[in-house]
Chain A
Amino acid sequence: MSEDNSIQSLGDAFRGLSVVRLKRAVRLGIKSLWLHRLRSLLTMLGIVFGVCSVIAMLAIGEGASYEAQEQIKNLGSQNIILRSAKPPEEQKVSDKSSQGYVLQYGITYTDVKRIRATIPGVTIVMPTRNIREYVWNISRRVDCDIMGTVPWYPEMRNQRVIEGRFFTDNDMDARTSVCVLGAEMVPILFPVESPLGKQVRVGANYYTVIGIMEARATVANNDGGPDAAKPATHRMFIPLETARLRYGEVLMRRRAGSFEAERVQLHEITVKVESLDAVTGVAEAIKTLMERNHKKMDYEVVVPLELLKRAERTKQIFNIVLGSIAAISLLVGGIGIMNIMLASVTERTREIGIRRALGARRRDIIVQFLVETVILSGAGGILGVLLGVIIPFVVSHTAGMKTIITFWSPMLAFTISGLVGVIFGIYPAIRAAQMDPVEALRHE
């Protein structure tokens, strides 16, 4: 007896397959799967967990990277940020000779002038001075970063003033004592009334509150972001010129048994580059310029765009890792299905023989078994999608993590689970169809 080519018979299986016959095959498949409910359920679990983990992990990963990217975007992707940093070797020196030594480091006003003068394609240079002080409202106190800055700060940092206004050029020129509070500290200082128009005290000086700045997105520890090291502190904004007038350039810090003084002109400058394409080039130029003029590494250059790119790369790697985990778990699920189907084919050899004797063609047998595996993996896929949607939902509500379920991830997971059913169902189905009817009928 000559054997038909199995690939050809597989191709034939789908030719001349009527809707009626397919519908019956589906009903028959469900029936015989239902007959072994527990077995079918256990077989499905592999696919369920595979699909569900893909969706849940993608949702959590997507949420995390979305948050990281939002933070970086808050820094402004067209910006380059230079920060003053205490050089490590100086730190040691100051620890030894702790008396009366004024440590001088950081970005200077000259740096700002140089950048303005020599680097093309730079629109705004925004300098900032940070002073750490307590801010008082009568007896309420907040440990706060007081930031002396320029009127265009909110615009450059993509932050909005939610109440009142930010200070203007006039405030700068007149060195007025006005301030804008970060939204985080408002309830602490002013639990009942609106702070607008009220006064807060810093040291011996009073400032009139003219606006409230929206709260910063909470800082998750994304890689290398300088903000990551610091906890989200309270911020108060005052005009840069006012800060210069009030605090001069020397900062005093008391420590146990000694005090140290630092002379820092500017803590931070933000450089806005005209176009996104120019960012990398300008960043390089600034780095070179700074290197030439600073002997020590008393500054750092942060390029949000590079951080963003790095975050995207991290996300890509993350996705690849997730993808391979998903592929492996679906593969394992598929092998489980194949294993059970092979057992099922052996178990039902007799039935196959009977059907063949009563007129079933090879393709009918193939369709019958293939439909069963596809139903198994498809149902597993649906269950997995449901679980995979529920889990991120639960996670974001209990752990407070942001999760994003993209439209395509359930679709993809479901499609793959269906494909797994077909791929791992083909071999057992062909094996069933290749059986000699005479042998199959004799099988006990």
Chain B
Amino acid sequence: MPSPIVHFENVRKTYKMGMVTVEALRGVTFEIQAGEYISIMGPSGCGKSTMLNLLGCLDRPSAGHYRLGGEDVSQMNDDALSAVRGSRLGFVFQSYNLIQQLTVVENIEIPLYYQDRPEDQSRDMARRMAARVGLDQRLEHKPFELSGGQQQRVAIARALVNEPLVILADEPTGNLDSSSGTEIMKLFDELHAQGKTLILVTHDPSVGQRAHRTIRLRDGEIESDVRR
């Protein structure tokens, strides 16, 4: 059996809010293999966001270990975590999170920017990614000139451009109408077919069901882990 890409081992996360200590995750253990298509679901307040922040190396667990691509990232310092985010992870957010003053192609370039790629090379890669999500006619447009579905495509292109180990999507269809949502989900299916590892965090069952495996959280613990 190949070593897992994501390995959570008894991960806990507690927040101190004034006098009260909130346990957002109470010892979560699971593995994700390369090429898996996973959705993480659960009601609000179940620890989904915390899980996403930990998976995305935006935050560090209070206890336990998180190995990403075989490397323990749970105790890395801020700079190292930045490097991990930039080179191994791709983010797709609910509200697209594009930088408004930059053009489509410049937005896609951002992760490469922080990895000191030569400029013409990164421009090329960004163009290729834009073509892959069907936006090669919109390279010089600003985000506000695009529809929601197109903006989300830009975000996906940006998540793909650094060829990450894992793509994390946080409610990717939450701000979209159903037809653009379906298009985005089709795009995810295609990516999965190309062998990408996808993690979707959502509370929308119709979205969650497209994944091949669903982890349900409740009160900071794994309630179920179902493969289809």
With contacts A1-B59, A1-B60, A437-B58 known, is A358 near B111, CB below 8 A? yes
- Against A, the Cβ 8 Å flags (1 = close, 0 = not) of B110-128 are 1101111011000000000
Instruction: Digitize B134-177: 1 where CB-to-A-CB distance is under 8 Å, 0 elsewhere.
Output: 00000000000000000000000010001000000000000000
Contact yes or no, A359 B53, CB < 8 A: no
In chain B, positions 22-55 with a C-beta closer than 8 Å to chain A are 53
Q: Which one of A21, A31, A356, A363 has the greatest number of beta carbons of chain B within 10 Å?
A: A356
Fill in one digit per residue for A339-380: 1 if any B CB lies within 8 Å of its CB, else 0.
Answer: 000000000001101111111111110000000000000000
Task: List chain A residues, Cβ under 8 A from B87.
Answer: 359
Mark out the residues of chain B between 66 and 91 whose CB falls within 8 Å of any chain A CB in the assembled complex: 77-79, 82-83, 85-87, 91
The 0/1 profile, CB within 8 Å of A marked 1, for residues 173-188 of chain B is 0000000000000000
B116 close to A359 (CB less than 8 A): no
Give the residue name and chain of the B residue nearest to A355 (CB): B110
- Nearest residue, chain B, Cβ from A364: B114
**Contacting pair B101 A31 (CB below 8 A):** yes
Is B158 a contact partner of A358 (Cβ separation < 8 A)? yes
| Distance of A179 Cα from B60 Cα, bound (Å) | 99
Supposing A1-B60, A356-B82 touch, asked if A361 and B114 sit within 8 A by C-beta, the answer is yes
Q: How far is the CB of B204 from chain A (nearest CB, A)?
A: 20
With a cutoff of 8 Å between Cβ atoms, the chain B residues found around residue A245 in the complex are none
Q: A31-B101, A32-B101 are in contact. Are A20 and B116 (CB under 8 A)?
A: yes
| Chain A contacts for B97, CB-based, 8 A | 350, 353-354, 357, 441
| Contact yes or no, A358 B93, CB < 8 A | no
A21 and B101 in contact, given A359-B87, A438-B53 (Cβ under 8 angstroms): no
Does A155 lie at the interface of the complex (its beta carbon under 8 Å from any beta carbon of B)?
Answer: no
Please tell me if the beta carbons of B116 and A361 are within 8 angstroms of each other in the complex: no
Contact of A358 among B78, B91, B118 (CB under 8 A): B91
B208 within 8 A of A: no
Asked if A12 CB lies within 8 Å of chain B CBs, one says yes
Q: How far is the CA of A17 from the CA of B109 in the complex (A)?
A: 19
| Interface residue total, chain B, C-beta cutoff 8 A | 29
What's the least CB distance linking B86 to chain A, in Å? 2
Q: With A1-B59, A32-B101 known to touch, is A358 a contact of B114 (CB < 8 Å)?
A: yes
Q: In whole angstroms, how far apart are the Cα atoms of A9 and B58 in the complex?
A: 18
Instruction: Tell me, in angstroms, the Cα distance from A351 to B59 when the chains sit together.
Output: 18
| Chain A residues whose CB sits within 8 angstroms of the CB of B162 once the complex forms | 359
The A interface, classified by DSSP as helix, strand, loop or mixed, is helix
Please determine whether A359 and B86 come into contact, CB atoms closer than 8 angstroms.
yes
- B residues in contact with A354, CB < 8 Å: 97-99, 110
B77 touches A359 (CB 8 A): no
CB contacts (< 8 Å) of B113 on chain A: these are 24
In the complex, what's the smallest C-beta–C-beta distance from B22 to chain A, in angstroms? 15
Asked if A351 meets B99 with Cβ closer than 8 Å, knowing A20-B119, A359-B86, A362-B79, the reply is: yes
Give A4 to B78 CA distance when docked, in angstroms. 7
Contact B78 A357 (CB under 8 A): no
Which residues of the other chain, B, contact A350 by a CB distance below 8 angstroms? 97
**Are B59 and A438 in contact, CB atoms less than 8 angstroms apart?**
yes
Option from B58, B79, B111 in Cβ contact (under 8 Å) with A361? B79
Separation in Å of the B164 CB from the closest CB of chain A? 10
Q: Are B79 and A357 in contact (CB under 8 A)?
A: no
Is B56 in contact with chain A by the CB < 8 A criterion? yes
What's the Cα separation between A21 and B117 when bound, in Å?
Answer: 10
A256 close to B (CB within 8 Å): no
- Whether the pair A438, B58 counts as a contact (CB closer than 8 A) is yes
Given A4-B78, A438-B59, A441-B93, check contact A359 B115 (CB 8 Å).
Answer: yes
A351 proximity list for chain B (CB < 8 A): 99
Assess A18 versus B116: contact at CB under 8 Å? Given A357-B58, A441-B93: yes
CB–CB A35/B78 < 8 A: no
Closest to A357 in B: B91
Binary interface profile of A, 264-307, with partner B (CB < 8 Å = 1, else 0)? 00000000000000000000000000000000000000000000
A-B contact pairs, 16 of them (CB 8 A): A20-B119, A21-B116, A24-B113, A357-B56, A357-B58, A357-B85, A357-B91, A358-B85, A358-B158, A359-B86, A359-B111, A359-B114, A359-B162, A361-B78, A363-B79, A441-B93
Given contacts A9-B78, A359-B86, 8 further A-B pairs with CB under 8 A are A1-B59, A354-B99, A356-B85, A359-B82, A359-B87, A359-B111, A361-B78, A361-B79
What residues of chain A have their CB less than 8 Å away from a CB belonging to chain B? 1, 4, 9, 12, 18, 20-21, 24, 31-32, 35, 350-351, 353-364, 437-438, 441
